[in-house]
Structure 1
Amino acid sequence: MNKKEFYATIIIYAVLAFALMVTNYFLEYMDWLLAFAIILVGYMYFRYKLTSPMQKFVNKFNMLMDYDLDIESAIEMALNHVENAPTKSLKGIFLLHLGMAYYNNGEYDKAIQTFNQIELQRMNTVYHVLIFAHQAYAYNELGNQEGFDLALERINNVKPKIHKKFYAYATSYERLLTAIKNIEEDPEEYKNVIEAHLSQHNGYISQRLIYHYRMAHYYKVIGDTHEMDIHLAKVLANGKSHFTAKEAQSMFKNSVNIEDYVFTEDDFNEQEPVQEENLDQIQDIEDADVFDQEDENETEK
């Protein structure tokens, strides 16, 4: 549903609802409870027509970016949806996905600029965590420690405002980013956190790339070049234009043959136990604010 369709639907719904109430007031042809029930059903159908395409967008976006690694197409699709978003809340969600696509494409400055365009007060606070986390990731790749620390602090500040069902999700990001920040001082804690949050097989190639990229940093810190190159080779052999492959090029020391580490089905068949809640992708659209809200503190506790 684009902007024109959205506003046309609002006008039609408002006119019909008003006409129903006025005519029923004068003609009294139905019980008022039934009249309000009809209006409510129309409203629920309107919300469904608005959120259903959003779910389709999220599913297609995730397949393009995380499975096909066709990040350019994900960017193009997100840009088109940003331009045609019917509400500011939906525009914020599309901008969030656009920023994540820029980040995964290695365009860190564009990602940060995109995240900064989002009107946070119009979005469910659970999305704030995802925005701040990816800002921190982008700042980390740019070597901007001040920006990274600010984004991490903002996650900590927003945690009390999110729904309790997502509290562990926010804590997971906070713990992961803290481990990245302190990798030099405590590499073993970093390794434990990466294993806990990123080692699970979720079927997406991007998940495996990020896991091996993060583990390569661990082995770099402890000085094990061979193990570092094994993880980097897996990224380089399978990463296409993913940011992990771009970053791995400058880290790789050529101690192993990249072609030996192309992913096979065995890399995705073995399921490891989930040690921590890990929600890198929010797909539950029902938890997103579709209609504009004026105060972020209205989020249900």
Structure 2
Amino acid sequence: MTFTPHYRELRAELETLTTEAFRPELSDIDRLPTLDIARLMNAEDATVPAAVAERLPQIAAAIDAVAERMARGGRLLYAGAGTAGRLGVLDASECPPTFNTDPAQVVGLIAGGPAAMVTSVEGAEDSRELAAEALDALRLTPDDTVVGVSASGRTPYAIGAVEHARRLGALTIGLACNAGSALAAAAEHGIEIVTGPELVTGSTRLKAGTAQKLVLNMLSTITMIRLGKTYGNLMVDVRASNDKLRARSRRIVALATGAPDDEIEQALAATDGEVKNAILVLLAGVDGPTAARLLAASHGHLRAALSAATGSADG
């Protein structure tokens, strides 16, 4: 095989990345008993939350900016390649059942398209243009947020998405796992979770992937809390689309109201199964249509709707 100057440059660049660093002290890991390897891996994973904790102020600032735009009707869009792209798609796909969001409200874009979720699409991550085309197909607006996700912080697809989104006036966030990354520099909000070298050299689906998952959990979940998708720590906008979620809906109404089962069933029947509306019916003593109007007037914030219905400042 002939190595071109491009590949020599790429190899040299990879050797500067913390996530790609070789750990000679682990060079005999394949000779260890399985339990010892598991202990090593678990100890490595335990360092990730501390790395995330160091960037909580940046994460919180990004979340507040996202929530402000989503409250105006904007969308949250993730863009990445490989593991990073899959994690974005996963986080986006969990929002409709968890928070009753429209599937178009939180979207995951992965280099190579949907097929790349299960099969590697070679070369797709190297194209800034593919990222721009994917965003153009979604008709990006200034109220939208684009989160580029890349462990290395140098993936062209993620950087291209952020650069294109920023040119169009959208909010941009760059999530990487190396310091001084091009992705974080390209974004309005750069978040660099430095997780260090991996147990298996270069396998950034490990600690780096875990860090990305934790941050994406925060971005979507806390944004939804800010948007009124919870009541306290109760998931009151859950979509009861199967038996488990229907049982969970009833339990959430019970926890929020303390009402007996028969009253909970009546309230859910009066509100077409909408948990938030049923809670308002029970706590404020209003009917289903009134609950819907109060929630609409409060932009879906249950505490505000309760305050409006009862005259209490606590909600």
State if a TM-score over 0.5 links the two structures.
Answer: no
After TM superposition, the score normalised by the length of structure 1 is 0.30
* TM-score normalised according to structure 2 size: 0.30
- Between Structure 1 and Structure 2, the one with more helix by share is 1
